[in-house]
A and B are shown apart, each in its own frame.
Chain A
Amino acid sequence: MAEVLQANLRQDLGTARSRQLRRGGRIPAILYGHGEQNVCLSVPADQLAAALRHGSKLVQLQGDVVDSALIKEVQWDVFGAEVLHLDLTRVSASERVEVTVGIELRGAAPGVQAGGQLLHAAHEVRIRCKAASIPERIEFKINDLQLGQTLTLADLRLPDEVELMDDPAAILVQCVTPQAELEEGLPAGGEVSEPEVIGRKAEQEDEG
């Protein structure tokens, strides 16, 4: 189900106004697509945080603008703590769109119980499907994953009408034997060796 965002039109643009908005608990956003005019909006930070937490891609805009939109891009601050800006693109429910969704591993792998290490290589996957039927996440059961076994994106069980856009041969998850821990320490005598200097030997030979 699409999350609802209360969108307000944004008349005052610019960095200072955007910062003011964020201080007031709203996030600046832009809505574009379908050959229509771009609209500058602001949406409540708490509603947006909930939508992102749930992994929603499709949102229903209400308030000054009533439309259904796809979350195209989310700009975060450098610490990944706060959303700075949101890009929304207009979509109709029947339109086929390409989106990235997260993959969630479910269950316990017998390979891990046998002393193996689980390596989750692909955390997300690109899919194409109808906007109305975008899954929040794709669950993948690893109850049959044995030690030394590798599963690829082709092994994903996608819902009906969902098409995989990534390489099906890409590794999704593996169960490997843990690497022996590297026993590292300073060499005896406390003498630290130095790295090789590129070009030094050639220079010295020329001088000699």
Chain B
Amino acid sequence: MALMPKRVKHRKSQRGRISGNATRGNKVVFGDYGLQALQGGWIKAQTIEAGRIAAQQYVRGEGRLYVRVFPHKSITSTPLETRMGKGKGEPEHWVATVRPGTVLYELGGVTEQQARVCFARLAHKMPIRVRFVRRRLA
């Protein structure tokens, strides 16, 4: 099943705005290489999962993949051919709100060349522009 929170305080949320760049979650922390978002946007839980599967198939058994984003936000929609009114629609899917600079995935235990190929496969799944980043030296 695609990612979603276990417990929430409110089922529905307002749309909100994505302003500015990521000031946290913008560094490679767990692995050696990362995939960094260059644009802001909503990434669906299904998309995060599709990326995870694409990467996992490549690094199977060798490296360790870390997913750094989680879909906390519910997106509602009203059914087709519905008359106006009757309130806000029902939650349809869950998304992660991503600011430019956010590290989406990390990879450890593989060579840089392997990580580049793996993230290139993963990047095709992403609805936003992304780039390959390395862990910064201490």
Contacts and interface: CB of A to CB of B under 8 A. Distances in A.
A binds B: yes
Interface residues of A, number: 33
Contact of B136 (A80, A119, A195, A196): A80
B36 A194 contact: no
A115 interface: yes
A133 interface: no
Contact of A198 (B8, B21, B64): B8
Interface string B1-40: 1101111111100000000011100110000100010100
B23 A78 contact: yes
Interface residues of B, number: 36
Q: Helix, strand, loop or mixed for chain B's interface?
A: loop
A16 interface: no
B60 interface: yes
Interface string A70-90: 000000101110000000000
A84 to B, nearest CB: 13
Contacts of A181: 56, 60
Given A101-B138, A117-B109, A123-B138, A78 B64 contact: no
Contacts, number: 82
A106 to B, nearest CB: 14
A146 B137 CA distance: 27
Contacts of A194: 4, 11, 91
Contact of B100 (A78, A117, A196, A197): A78
Interface stretch (A5-13, A38-46, A153-161, A183-191): A183-191
Interface string A100-111: 111000000000
B109 A115 contact: no
Nearest to B4: A195
Given A80-B101, A178-B61, 15 more contacts: A55-B137, A76-B136, A78-B26, A80-B136, A115-B61, A117-B61, A117-B109, A119-B108, A123-B135, A124-B138, A186-B2, A192-B1, A194-B91, A195-B4, A199-B9
Interface of B: 1-2, 4-11, 21-23, 26-27, 32, 36, 38, 49, 56, 60-64, 91, 93, 100-101, 108-109, 133, 135-138
- Which A-B residue pairs are the 4 nearest by beta carbons? A124-B138, A78-B21, A102-B138, A78-B101
Interface of A: 52-53, 55, 76, 78-80, 100-102, 112, 115, 117-120, 123-124, 137, 178, 181, 184-187, 192-199
